[in-house]
């Protein structure tokens, strides 16, 4: 069964809107784990519009499953990650002004930079994942620069799912087969939801982990947090 890591950025966004601690981000993370989540993901951005840099050590002291910090590996981000040593760091090539991550790394163009960054993270005992598009050369490039895993950017899959789910997932299956052949782990995330998650999970051989935030938090407004987490876990069962 692929593991479910819940991205709690949107909870922090609601909290920040009123300048208080409502909802309580730390308690929310604790409850996510209590209700079955197998990991907590945060993505601090330079403007701290949702997860703040101060949230990272606070959550580090509370998370008992897997702690995943994702973001663009700027010097400030790397300092934060190395200081707090999560189980996994997911490197994402997002611009500071982007609303959300919408593409993966060019692992060939940025080979030297990524090799240096990943070497530093792995020396600190941190598993490293690279956000990539489902392309053979990008997956092979991720292996070359030393990443332990890739995280397949699934935004295009989600966008095309209702038009033709088999065509939508085809490139992801090919990328997963490459990853399995060369021995790099597979994570996935972005716009996965209760409609498209099961088909994706069943199509991708050896999928290890999905990171889901926006859809899960939105569903929790209707179904409640416990029920929602259980619904997502059921979609991930073999």
Q: How confident is the model at residue 94 (pLDDT cuts 50, 70, 90)?
A: confident
Q: How far apart are CA 139 and CA 179, in angstroms?
A: 6
Q: How far apart are CA 172 and CA 186, in angstroms?
A: 11
Q: Please compute the mean of the pLDDT values over residues 106-112 and round it to a whole number.
A: 97
Please report the pLDDT score of residue 162 as a whole number.
Answer: 97
Q: How far apart are CA 81 and CA 87, in angstroms?
A: 10
User: What domain count does the chain have?
Assistant: 1
pLDDT over 80 (residue 80): yes
Q: Please compute the mean of the pLDDT values over residues 213-227 and round it to a whole number.
A: 98
Catalytic one of 66, 190, 209, 235:
190
Q: Please compute the mean of the pLDDT values over residues 83-90 and round it to a whole number.
A: 98
Catalytic one of 33, 43, 209, 235:
43
Please report the pLDDT score of residue 102 as a whole number.
Answer: 63
Catalytic one of 66, 70, 151, 235:
70
Q: Are 78 and 117 in contact (CB under 8 A)?
A: yes
DSSP string, 71-108: E---HHHHHHHHHH--SEEEE----TT-SS------TT
Q: How confident is the model at residue 97 (pLDDT cuts 50, 70, 90)?
A: low
Catalytic, 87? Answer: no
The domain in which residue 166 lies consists of: 3-236
CATH code, 221: 3.20.20.70
Catalytic, 140? Answer: no
Q: Are 184 and 138 in contact (CB under 8 A)?
A: no
Please report the pLDDT score of residue 103 as a whole number.
Answer: 79
Q: How far apart are CA 176 and CA 194, in angstroms?
A: 21
Please report the pLDDT score of residue 169 as a whole number.
Answer: 98
Please report the pLDDT score of residue 98 as a whole number.
Answer: 55
Q: Please compute the mean of the pLDDT values over residues 102-111 and round it to a whole number.
A: 91
């Amino acid at each position: 069964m692929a593991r479910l890591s819940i991205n709690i950025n949107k909870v922090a966004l609601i909290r920040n809107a009123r300048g208080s601690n409502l909802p309580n981000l730390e308690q929310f993370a604790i409850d996510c784990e209590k209700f079955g989540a197998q990991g907590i993901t945060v993505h601090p951005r330079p403007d701290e519009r949702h997860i703040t840099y101060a949230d990272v050590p606070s959550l580090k002291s509370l998370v008992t499953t897997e702690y995943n910090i994702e973001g663009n590996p700027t010097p400030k981000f790397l300092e934060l990650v190395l200081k707090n040593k999560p189980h996994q760091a997911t490197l994402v090539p997002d611009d500071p002004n982007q609303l959300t991550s919408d593409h993966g790394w060019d692992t060939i163009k940025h080979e030297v930079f990524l090799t240096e960054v990943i070497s530093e993270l792995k020396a600190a005992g941190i598993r490293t994942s690279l956000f990539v598009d489902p392309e053979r050369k990008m997956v092979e490039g991720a292996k070359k620069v030393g990443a332990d895993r890739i995280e397949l950017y699934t935004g295009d899959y989600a966008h095309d799912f209702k038009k033709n789910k088999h065509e939508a997932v085809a490139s992801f299956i090919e990328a997963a087969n490459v990853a399995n052949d060369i021995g790099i782990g597979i994570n996935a995330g972005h716009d996965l939801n209760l409609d498209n998650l099961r088909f994706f999970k069943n199509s991708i051989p050896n999928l290890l982990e999905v990171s889901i935030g926006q859809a899960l938090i939105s569903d929790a407004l209707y179904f409640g947090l416990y029920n929602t987490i259980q619904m997502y876990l059921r979609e991930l069962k073999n």
